[in-house]
Structure 1
Amino acid sequence: MKVEVGTIQAARLHGPEAPGTGTLRAMELRDIPAVGSMFTRIFRKREYKAGDDLQKYIETIFFGSPLYSPERGSVVYDDGTGGIGSVILALPMEFSVQGRPTVAKLLCAFMSEGKAGAHGAACIARAMRAAKQDMCFSDNLSPVSADHGVAGGGIVLPIQSLDWRRSFHPLKAWALMIGRQAPLLRSRVVMGLLAVVDRILRQRRPGMKSGAPGGCATRAIDPAAFVDCAEPMLQRFAVRPVWSRNEFNWLVAVAGLNRTLGELLCREVLDEGGRVIGAYLYFGKAGEMATVLNIVCEAGRELDVTTQMFHSLDAEGYALAVGSAQPFLMNAISRQRWLSFHHRGYFCMVTRHADLKDAAQRNDIYVGGLASESWSRLLTDF
């Protein structure tokens, strides 16, 4: 479960509804073994303690951000007997909202166990109601969780709830998408056979290839340089990431730990005069999939930038490219052949600020993959 919240103050809970006395408090380093084991039981259905790798990763992600402080971090429900019944993992991220800096929280997993956990989960949910939050969002909620978010004063953003998928080699792309459920399809022999058929199909149907816009070109840059391209291009959005150099460099570093998705790469797009008009940041797993995290461009150049991006990814040999939908790009990417949209999970935002809510409903907002859980090893590993 992914959500964004503002500061949650630790609160002592009393009353007949509580099965004892419990506390909502900031997660501490000593909680990591219990939290990691709960994650393993709930999300991986395995009954054993969290390994050292998972525990170290939780510490790195949820205690290592340059924006971290206890009041901005994850929250646990301490049941009063030394146990943790419920937890929500949270990552602070700084946004600009109508020009004012706002530190929000990206909630990456919401877990509970037993009666105390159910009560703790309810306490956490109440603490996150819109009236108490500066900014709270998630791009991967289940229908039930999204309904709870709306009931608490949140809003659902339909376009941001979608992923796009652009197939360059459709049979191989299909095998990659369902490979987790059918690992045999991802074997070297099967993938090799599918690649042969794809080559034949691409020869017979040239429309499967992604054409290039006239005069545009792509140039590799270091991912750390992406923020220099992005900063002026994001000024048109009322709500956007701030990406201070410290925060951005940390995000790039921790995203790069996810080797399952491949290498973290960046490209800038130049027009016919050699001027930079856009850039994109993505994971590239050679010969397989490109996972696009962020696309930025000058206003009015969306079609040129995305067309050049797809052309470049095709030329680099990827069978499939995937990314999260953004309203300002919908017209441009929808013109691609062999592109489809899929519901990933509900994007829900909770805030007490009317101007933020209004900007989000008008789609005057930029989020992107770095401000999501899509780069996290919690989704792909362990």
Structure 2
Amino acid sequence: MTMEANELRVSESVPVDTGQRRGTRPMAPDDVAAVGRLFNRIFRRHDQASDDDLGRYLQTVFFGSPHYSPELGSVVHENGANGIDSAILSVPMAFMVNGRPTMARLLCAFMADGKAGAVGAARLARTMRAARQDMCFSDNASPVSADHWVAGGGIVLPIQSLEWQRSFLPLTAAAILAGRHFPIARSRVLVGVLRPIDRALRRLRPSMRPKTEGECRSEAARVEEFLQCASAMLERFAIRPAWSPAEFDWLVRVASMNRNLGTLQCRKVVLPDGRTIGAFLYFGKQDAAATVLNLVFEEGRERDVAAAMFAQLDAEGYAVAVGMAQPFLMNAISRQRWLSFRHRGYFCMVTRHADLKEAAERNDIYIGGLASETWSRLLTDF
């Protein structure tokens, strides 16, 4: 989400006689400990100080972007005597919108400390109204939060709110996916029992094995090669990440910290003559899941590239591959057998620019993966 410097309404602060600060203001590095504790209280249901790992991560993600400035960073509300009672954590991200550079804000977490933080939460929410934003988005909003986004002039992107899941070993995949909520389901003992059964089922049901289309093949690639492919292959979208080398390198570094999702890897899809027609960036966790962050391709080659990606991930031994649904990918991935969708959280956006809103509503947008919160450890580790 973008917020111009003069739109950061510190004037909404309420003066108090005690002389203590009170009201909305940019989050500062020395707020990390208090915000970390608030995060634990709201999202982890324990009122404990943040450990060093969480503190360092908050510092790196919310103050480390090449585009960071206080005006584009996170915002907190301070109630005076009791300190910070609500906060919005956000990361600035550069986009191109109909050819013009636009600084967006990725909203990562909105926290309010119960009734005590209600006033602060309301003040922070007012700063996110469409009339004040060039572009502000979140990819995992709750139903209640989505209603607030729409009430503030925003929109919900329904397809991007879905996650596709392609199972290669269905029983093992079910255990691994259930392990998101019930860790015991992905225990080595259970997965070890299910995997041989899946192998036997694959011999009986050849449709479980994905097939390539055409004569293209997948090759290992450096992460930097993905940026080269994306720069040319995303130009057709009215809304797309700008991804300068500095920003892309920073995003790769912070994404690579999420070891819970596995190792960040890149592959490209090439024709027999060596020409690259697509590339994909993904986390791979050995003997478990592949989490696809971004898939790019030449226009019209989505079926070839998607099929090559699924065949490669299957060959690498993953039980399941998951990724954010995208309108331009639906035809290609829906041809896969053993594929399903689940609601992953509402993808919401607000903007004061009519052309940006119209482009998003007609799905002329490339967003997600590194240009979203998929990579964040706040979703998987803490």
Pick which of 41-50 and 70-79 moved more: 41-50
The 5-angstrom pairing of residues 1-382 of structure 1 reads 4-7=1-4, 8-13=7-12, 22-81=22-81, 83-382=83-382
> Does the CA contact (< 8 Å) of 2:291 and 2:321 recur in 1?
yes
Q: What is the rounded CA distance, in whole Å, between the counterparts of 1:183 and 1:326 in structure 2?
A: 29
Q: Deviations over 1:244-294 (max 9, x none)?
A: 000000000110011110000000001232210000000000111000000
Deviation at 1:201, TM superposition (A): 0.3
Deviation, structure 1 residue 187: 2.1
8 Å contact kept, 1:5–1:350: no
Deviation string 1:147-172 (CA, Å, 9 cap, x unpaired) is 11111110111111111000000000
Distance 2:260 2:210 in 1: 26
Q: Which moves more between the two structures, 72-81 or 237-246? A: 72-81
Letter in 2 for 1:337: R
Secondary structure, counterpart of 1:77 in structure 2: strand
Q: CA deviation at 1:45?
A: 1.1
Whole-angstrom distance in 1 between the partners of 2:180 and 2:367? 28
> How many Å apart are 1:5 and its aligned residue?
4.3
37-46 or 60-69, larger mean C-alpha shift: 37-46
Tell me the distance in 2 between the aligned counterparts of 1:14 and 1:70. Answer: 17
CA distance in 2, matches of 1:148, 1:247: 30
**CA displacement at 1:15 relative to structure 2:** 7.3
What is the letter of the counterpart of residue 98 of structure 2? Answer: Q
- Give 1:63's aligned amino acid: F
Structure 1 residue 185, shift from structure 2 partner: 2.6
Deviation readout 1:67-109 (Å, 9 max, x if unpaired): 0000000000011236001100000000000111011110101
2:157 and 2:114 map into 1 onto residues whose CA distance is 32
- Cα pair 2:2 2:103 within 8 Å, conserved: no
Asked if the contact 2:168/2:209 (under 8 Å) is kept, the reply is: yes
Cα RMSD (Å): 1.5
Q: State the number of aligned residues.
A: 376
State the Cα deviation string for residues 199-246 of structure 1 (Å, max 9, x = none).
Answer: 010000000000111311001111122100110000000100000000
Which letter maps to 1:97?
V
4+ runs deviating over 4 angstroms: none
8 Å CA contact retained: 2:131, 2:352: yes
Percent identity, aligned pairs only?
62
1:21/1:257 CA distance change after superposition, 3 Å: closer
TM-score norm. by structure 1 comes to 0.96
Alignment deviations for residues 170-208 of structure 1 (CA, whole Å, 9 cap, x no partner) = 000000011143333322221111001000100000000
The CA distance in 1 between the partners of 2:35 and 2:14, in whole Å, is 26
- Contact 1:93/1:104 (<8 A) preserved: yes
Matched residue type, 1:365: I
Structure 2 counterpart of 1:127, one-letter code = T
Distance 1:270 1:297 in 2: 10
Please give the alpha-carbon distance, in whole angstroms, between the structure 1 residues aligned to 2:114 and 2:214: 60
Give the aligned residue type for 1:225. E
Q: Separation in 2 of the partners of 1:347 and 1:189?
A: 36
Measured in 1, the distance between the counterparts of 2:68 and 2:13 equals: 29
Q: Determine helix, strand or coil for the equivalent of 1:214.
A: coil
* Distance in 2 between residues matched to 1:189 and 1:13, nearest whole Å: 56
Offset from partner CA, 1:41-82 (integer Å, 9 cap, x none): 111112211101100100000000010000000000011236
Q: Do the aligned residues in 1 keep the contact of 2:368 with 2:374 (CA within 8 Å)? A: no
In structure 2, C-alpha distance between the alignment counterparts of 1:15 and 1:263, rounded to whole Å: 47
Q: How far apart are residue 331 of structure 1 and its match? A: 0.7
Cα pair 1:62 1:90 within 8 Å, conserved: yes
Of residues 136-145 and 274-283 in structure 1, the stretch that sits farther from structure 2 once superposed is 136-145
